Amino acid sequence: MTAHLLFDRIDEPGLNTLKVYEQRGGYSALRKAFAVPQNAIVEEISASGLRGRGGAGFKMGQKASFLPKGEMAKYLVCNADESEPGTFKDRELMQKCPHMLIEGIIITTFATGIHHAFIYIRGEYELQADILEAAIAEAQAAGFIGENILGSGHSLKLVLHRGAGAYICGEETGLLDSLEGKRGNPRLKPPFPAIEGLYAGPTLVNNVETLATVPTIINMGGAEYAKIGTEGSTGTKLISVSGDVQRPGNYEIVLGTSSREIIYGLCGGPKPGREVKMWFPGGSSSPVLLAQDLDLAYDFDTLAKAGSMLGSGAIIVVDDSHSAFEVAQKLVKFYAHESCGKCVPCREGTNWTHKMLARIEAGEATPMDLDIMASVQTQIIGNCLCVLGDAMAMPVGSIVAKFRDELEAEIDAASERANTVPVAPIQDAIPVGAR
Amino acid sequence: MSYFDKRPPVKRYEHGSRVPGWDEAVDLTKPPATVPDPALTPVPEELRAKIEAAMALYPDPKSASIPALHLAQKHHGWCSPEAITQVACVMRLTPAYLTSVASFYDMFALQPKPKNDVYVCTNISCSLLGADEFYEHMCAAVEGHDDIGVRGFECLGACEIGPMASVNGEYVGPLNLDDAKLIVEDLEAGRSVLEHKQLRNRAVADPAGRVADWTGIDPVGQEG
């Protein structure tokens, strides 16, 4: 089943300009939104059942309703940091249809009484940042951003902020610290950003795709939007498919589509002669699934029930030409590099897991190291301020559990290669007290 | 070998801990630097104007520290002590604070760096498709070209064109091993890099989004 709300003819030339976007009916949702009371818009978004598209899947309507009402310094921050490995959907959206995001931001700020919004884009997305900057200037010149927009009484200041390369800044509180001009260290929650966020003011943090969906919801009506997809996961989702598939790229699917239909139908599956060995359903931070899980419906609840998660909607397919060890090593190196170092379990856990894998490679490990590695993962989960550590622990824990035989074989093969005896012979050990 | 590997390693004792004095950024014989005195710190007018414009965008001017460091790095080539002092002078912050920020983010160089940046993604999706091999080829291809710095980078957010690289901000891919040489040639000639493989010209994968006959652009390496 397909439906195209965000990606419909997105390649149309010039869609990044206001002229073409308006020809296609752009900014009509904004006019419609200005004609109804503010709380009706939040209700409409709640009725749509829209869940956050950034990773956590929290209901957007509910998040917006947590913000205190009334006039005060409140902020909207659009999270365009998109640094989860395997995720590249927001990049396509911002590059090709930036006004959809801007319109979503204007509607959301009107609905929640916010007058100051930021888009935090990762520093590597230079082309997309330039396009967004030009689009914001165009929208400003046309009177969609500024004082008393279209005579509605709503005013908005929108600033594009470029990051400088740090995975942790995709985490909402790390992003807020970074936006305040600090190192991007996550904060203790609660208080949640909706109560105390940017500059200690109530702050709504939403992903690019979530905000870009808002104009569609206003145009269609929340109830109509909720009819698409499944009961717990409404609407369409942009997914980024990469790795060992023949047609990688961004697709828009209806939530609840079978995963096999996505990986084999849309993306052509792995190269001829190869089989799916494992796949990450929601970015490199999600626990891996196997070929036998390919018939799972791709939605938030089904994947959670299967022990994984939909995350950012980034499917990474690994075929049988790669070893599980190689995948684990790549993952761990990334998280060890990106850990900000604030919480001990994450800083030490990611680095020691990296060293334990290096031990396996050097042929110095024993199967007991796998048990230690697995226990490190369980001790990281839930014990840090943010989920970066969990984001390593979940996939690595699942790889150790699901590919244990293969990893043990790798330990044996590596020690044979290195020609080392994994355990020191008993007679060489110095008895306690003789030191 | 990339220029990052060529840096002198941190001196260590045999048991592994660092020899005191390994951190060159701190000279403990001097008192800590305070907010620089504007009368004694010359700042290029153009740089000052841009930093001040960035500061004006935020309710709290301190928020502009990352944009300001970007500007200073562009102006000076890297985040040199001089560059950081100039930003500190305009923003009324201490150089230590700005150094702590700059050292957190991957895109700021606290050591002199070559003019051209080639970031090769070596994260999971790209490495499944051979990015590690490409990275080695790329490092070999720039031997003798001191104005090009190659760096293995974490996911750059363009996995559909893996293995890929960001050359001075321009995303190119999917790359094969021969492209390493072509990237160096294009950079040396001052041309736009691998024009037929640039992400900016690539069509979306979803057939419903593609308007191939209007654009006349043949999607790179894409079927259907």
Nearest to A248 among B66, B205, B208 (CB): B205
Domain match, A57 and A87 both: yes
Domain match, A307 and A383 both: no
Domain match, A83 and A47 both: yes
Domain match, A217 and A69 both: yes
Q: Kindly report, as residue ranges, where domains of CATH 3.40.30.10 are found in chain B.
A: 116-202
* Residue A111 pLDDT: 96
Domain match, A330 and A400 both: yes
Q: Which residues in chain B are closer than 8 Å to A9, comparing Cβ atoms?
A: 208-209, 211
Nearest to A180 among B63, B119, B124 (CB): B63
Domain limits for position A214: 18-226
- Minimal Cα–Cα distance from B143 to chain A, Å? 25
Q: State whether B128 and A163 contact (CB < 8 Å).
A: no
Nearest to A9 among B59, B100, B209 (CB): B209
Domain match, A265 and A334 both: no
Note the pLDDT tens digit of each residue in A297-337: 999 999 999 999 999 999 999 999 999 999 999 999 999 99
Residue with structure tokens 């799916």? A276
Quickly list DSSP for B43-83. Answer: --HHHHHHHHHHHTTSSSGGGGHHHHHHHHHHHHSS--HHH
- Minimal Cα–Cα distance from B129 to chain A, Å? 7
Q: Calculate the average pLDDT of chain A.
A: 94
Q: pTM for the complete prediction? A: 0.91
For residue A285, the domain's CATH number is: 3.10.20.600
Quick check: B223 contacting A, CB < 8 Å? yes
Our count of domains for chain A comes to 3
Domain match, A122 and A163 both: yes
Note the pLDDT tens digit of each residue in A39-60: 999 999 999 999 999 999 999 9
Predicted confidence (pLDDT) at residue A196 exceeds the cutoff of 60: yes
* Residue B213 pLDDT: 52
CB pairs < 8 Å spanning A and B: 187
Domain match, A205 and A77 both: yes
Task: Tell whether A352 is covered by a domain.
Answer: yes
Quick check: A9 contacting B, CB < 8 Å? yes
- Minimal Cα–Cα distance from A238 to chain B, Å? 10
Predicted confidence (pLDDT) at residue A198 exceeds the cutoff of 70: yes
- Minimal Cα–Cα distance from B72 to chain A, Å? 13
Note the pLDDT tens digit of each residue in A26-43: 999 999 999 999 999 999
Q: Which of A63-77, A136-150, A412-426, B147-161 has the lowest mean pLDDT?
A: A412-426
* Residue B14 pLDDT: 75
Domain match, A74 and A198 both: yes
Task: Tell whether A345 is covered by a domain.
Answer: yes
Nearest to A159 among B57, B154, B209 (CB): B57
* Residue A370 pLDDT: 95
- Per the CB < 8 A criterion, the answer to whether B209 and A12 are in contact is no
For residue A337, the domain's CATH number is: 1.20.1440.230
- Minimal Cα–Cα distance from A316 to chain B, Å? 7
How far, in Å, CA of A357 to CA of A373, rounded?
9
Tokens of B100: 């702590």
Quick check: A10 contacting B, CB < 8 Å? yes
Sheet with A236-243: strands ordered across: A249-254, A236-243, A314-319, A276-280, A289-290
* Residue B220 pLDDT: 46
Picking from A226, A255, A286, the residue at the C-terminal end of a domain is A226
Q: What share of chain B is helix, strand, coil (3-state, %, to 5)?
A: 40, 10, 50
Predicted confidence (pLDDT) at residue A433 exceeds the cutoff of 80: no
Note the pLDDT tens digit of each residue in A265-308: 999 999 999 999 999 999 999 999 999 999 999 999 999 999 99
The residues in A 244-303 lying below 8 A from B, measured between CB atoms, are 244, 246-252, 266-268, 284
* Residue B221 pLDDT: 44
Q: Kindly report, as residue ranges, where domains of CATH 1.10.10 are found in chain B.
A: 25-102
| Bridge partner list, B121 | B153
The share of chain A scoring above pLDDT 90, in percent, equals 94
Residue of A123 and A3 predicted with greater confidence: A123
Q: Which CATH class is domain B25-102?
A: mainly alpha
* Residue B15 pLDDT: 76
Domain match, A191 and A59 both: yes
Domain match, A271 and A218 both: no
Cα–Cα nearest to B36, from B101, B85, B76: B85
3.40.640.10, 3.30.200.20, 3.40.30.10, 3.30.360.10: CATH of B116-202: 3.40.30.10
The residues in A 61-120 lying below 8 A from B, measured between CB atoms, are 73, 82-88, 91-92, 95-96, 116
CA dist A348 → A63, A168, A345, B136 (Å):
33, 16, 6, 29
Picking from A177, A204, A226, the residue at the C-terminal end of a domain is A226
| Below-50 pLDDT ranges, chain B | 1, 215, 218-224
